[in-house]
Amino acid sequence: MENIILTDDNEYNLKLFTEMLHEDASSLVNRALEEFFVAQQKRMVEKDIENENAMTNLSYDEFWDDLDI
């Protein structure tokens, strides 16, 4: 794994929250990344559903016009 460089603000907040929450920096970063990845996966699934609906979303007339009964 390559080295991760934090912005000054993130470094400051990480130090601040490790002191406030009495947790080590690795635990905070890992928890934050877990929450980020869950949120991103949820966003990607929602986007996939939107794209799928956009491709298959026919109006009532469009659906029945192409159906032979």
Given a cut of 80, whether residue 60 has pLDDT beyond it is no
What radius of gyration do the chain's Cα atoms show?
A: 23
Percent residues over pLDDT 70 in the chain: 84
Given a cut of 70, whether residue 42 has pLDDT beyond it is yes
Sequence ranges of the domains in the chain: 8-65
Are 21 and 31 in contact, with CB atoms under 8 Å apart? Answer: no
Given a cut of 90, whether residue 64 has pLDDT beyond it is no
Closest CA relative to residue 14, chosen from 30, 2, 3, 1:
30
